[in-house]
Structure 1
Amino acid sequence: MSKNTTPAPPKYDVKIHSFRPEGSCKATASVNVYGDFAVRGIKVMEGSRGLFVSMPSYKAGNGEYKDICFPCTKEAKAEFDQAVVGAYQQALTQSQNATQEQEAPVPQQEQASQPVMAGM
């Protein structure tokens, strides 16, 4: 008896929406978790210890910011953050490569002698 097994969907499908080279907010992202739950408004931030993930939040009456949604365990947070930061770094590398290709000087072709058409 053989079991039909389909590959599990990726746990996190991360989409990087915008890059911001200036300032501490480096990009915005959304994450689809198992194809069942989506989180928008995630920020990739740069702090004194490097990149970190900032979840969507609101400002409470006491001035503190409270996350609207978040991973519930330390392990889940580490996995979620790694997926987002990894997608950011991959998208940044692809963006830089595309920019370099666009800015690369086009080699000048040697001017080959072209046939000259006789007068008409």
Structure 2
Amino acid sequence: MAKSQTKAAGPAQTESATEQTAPAYPMKYDVKINSFRAEGSLRANASVNINDAFAIRGVKVMEGSSGLFVSMPSYKAGNGEYKDICFPCTKESRIEFDKAVLGKYQHQLSQLQSQRQEAAPFPEQAQGMSAPTM
């Protein structure tokens, strides 16, 4: 009978482990992009406020060989390896966090580009020429 109790306990333990990984309530990310950079691998610095309860400063949007990614604040350990100071604990949380940061980065970048296009004069106006009339 002990074996059947053990077998019954196995699925129950699996269910409770699954419940622990699911968020208790939806996460709300308030992302602020602090600065943009056009050169180098660092594209932007950001701050993230999670559920109006936890703030993370020093989040970076980086460009690597496979595209944009989010880098968490980190420190250099004694062995020369970099360790994240804080980080999402599950793969799902990491995906959600990265999606929020990269989404805000892309949104603000497109706004910045459209503002620059609106502010830029037409080439004819910039050179002091008038547009040809027909």
Is the shorter-chain TM-score for this pair beyond 0.5, marking a shared fold?
A: yes
1:82 and 1:24 map into 2 onto residues whose CA distance is: 19
- Percent identity between matched residues is 67
Displacement of 1:57: 0.2
Unpaired runs of 5+ in structure 2? 1-24, 126-134
1:59 and 1:107 map into 2 onto residues whose CA distance is: 53
2:61 and 2:37 map into 1 onto residues whose CA distance is: 10
1:68 and 1:9 map into 2 onto residues whose CA distance is: 23
1:31 and 1:107 map into 2 onto residues whose CA distance is: 43
Partner of 1:32: 49
Residue 102 (structure 1) aligned with residue 119 (structure 2) = yes
Partner of 1:52: 69
In structure 2, relative to structure 1, the CA distance for the partners of 1:86 and 1:62 (3 Å cut) is: same
Residue 42 (structure 1) aligned with residue 59 (structure 2) = yes
CA RMSD of aligned residues (A): 2.1
Partner of 1:4: none
SS in 2 for 1:32: strand
2:121 and 2:95 map into 1 onto residues whose CA distance is: 38
TM-score by length of 2: 0.71
Structure with the higher helix share, 1 or 2: 2
TM-score by length of 1: 0.79
Q: Which amino acid aligns with 1:63?
A: G
Over residues 15-43 of structure 1, what are the superposed CA-to-partner deviations in whole Å (9 max), with x where a residue is unaligned?
00000010000000000000000000000
Over residues 45-83 of structure 1, what are the superposed CA-to-partner deviations in whole Å (9 max), with x where a residue is unaligned?
000110000000000000000000000000000000000
Partner of 2:92: 75
Partner of 2:9: none
SS in 2 for 1:42: strand
Over residues 56-112 of structure 1, what are the superposed CA-to-partner deviations in whole Å (9 max), with x where a residue is unaligned?
00000000000000000000000000000000000000000000000033998xxxx
Unpaired runs of 5+ in structure 1? 1-7, 109-120
